[in-house]
A = this chain, B = another copy of it.
Amino acid sequence: MKNNKKLSGVKEIARLADVSIATVDRVIHNRSGVSAITKSKIEKIIKELNYQPNILASRLASGKVYRLAVLIPKGSERTDFWDAPLKGIKRAEEEIRQYGISVDFFFFDLNNKDSFIDSAQKIKNSKRFDGVLLAPSFVKESIQFIHYCEQDTIPFVFIDSNIEAKGILSYIGPPLFQSGFLGARLCAIGMRQTQKILFVNISKESNSFNYSKIEEGFNNYFFENDVDHQLIKLDITDTEKKSVFLNLEKIFSQHPDIEVIFVTNSRVFYVAQFLESKKYSKIHLVGYDFSKENQNYLKNGWIDFLICHKPEEQGYKGLMSLYHHIVLKLPVDQIYFMPIDIVTRENQDFYR
């Protein structure tokens, strides 16, 4: 009976179910207005045919443009860290724009909570976004914003750091504990005699979740491997260069025999500057992030190891997750841990 010319897709389903393609479309998209009996008949056929909608045709026919909002810190003069995720997001945008995606950017200042609140408010007010990608840098404020998303069932994705949120679609970022664990290993490489390690946190929020996870992993390494060492902890909450230098001066006057320094974030270049100014060239320095400043100090040897978590990739993956979920209806990993990359002066030219 195969006298029909090889139909496929909705047409074929419609023929088999003896309905119109409009009805098939309703079932496919779970729209109302189809009798239960018709619906189940069509669903059965869809399953039997293992029907996969043609997304090309779908996107073309529906003129719908999906709008995504991005809420991340702006790159500052002080550090270009956030330029990388932005670059990754723009790369993703480039790729999916032709499939009817538009992306609006909202930035905030990491030193200014209000700027976060303002930007978040703008996203809320516009009331026209189908998804949000954000860095939940300010915990309380992020939770509040997420609340709004959950209410309006707007999917959202976190990058770089994580907070508790039940409605979350995906978290893309570093495995912090293991990252600190590896940091300790890279420090151990530099231990020679006194085994004195300085653990430095340069941040306004030194007791944040992120940093304490890193510290936990760091300590765990020495515990697990039973490595002799002496740890000195230094919190610097004023992140100006001058303050960093003063704090380091003081510590070094108390402990002139420090062999290794570990810095928990991208401000490691301040410490490198300090070492350079003092000509403490024997000290082994380990820190975070592949920023311009850090790259320079890695290149000329003041920094020994940088730990990185592919910030550009995080941005790229973050936006793509939204696209996969919203447009392609593909499943998306709820947690996607970035690898923990080790960058040295020998491989830094090929790191991205």
- Give me the interface of A with B, judged by CB distance under 8 Å: 52, 54-57, 59-60, 98-99, 175, 178, 181-182, 185, 189, 221, 337-342, 344, 346-347, 349-352
Contacts and interface: CB of A to CB of B under 8 A. Distances in A.
Contacts of A349: 175, 178
Contacts of A99: 56
Nearest to A180: B346
How many copies of the shown chain assemble into the complex? Answer: 2
B350 A342 contact: no
A192 to B, nearest CB: 11
B340 A347 contact: yes
B56 A185 contact: no
A92 to B, nearest CB: 13
Pick the 5 closest A-B CB pairs, nearest first. Answer: A182-B346, A340-B347, A342-B342, A339-B350, A56-B60
A178 B347 contact: yes
B347 A339 contact: yes
Given A56-B56, A57-B60, A339-B350, 7 more contacts: A54-B60, A178-B349, A337-B350, A338-B350, A339-B347, A339-B352, A340-B346
A351 B339 CA distance: 5
A102 to B, nearest CB: 15
A252 B351 CA distance: 37
A281 to B, nearest CB: 14
7 contacts: A54-B98, A55-B98, A175-B350, A185-B344, A339-B341, A339-B352, A341-B342
A185 B343 CA distance: 12
B98 A181 contact: no
Nearest to A310: B339
Nearest to A179: B347
Given A98-B55, A339-B352, A346 B60 contact: no
A221 B346 contact: yes
Contact of A346 (B55, B56, B185, B352): B185
Contacts of A342: 341-342, 344, 347
Contacts of A55: 98
A57 to B, nearest CB: 5
A340 B347 CA distance: 6
Nearest to A352: B339
A221 B347 CA distance: 12
Nearest to A181: B346
Contacts of A98: 52, 54-56
A159 to B, nearest CB: 16
Contacts of A56: 56, 59-60, 98-99
B54 A344 contact: no
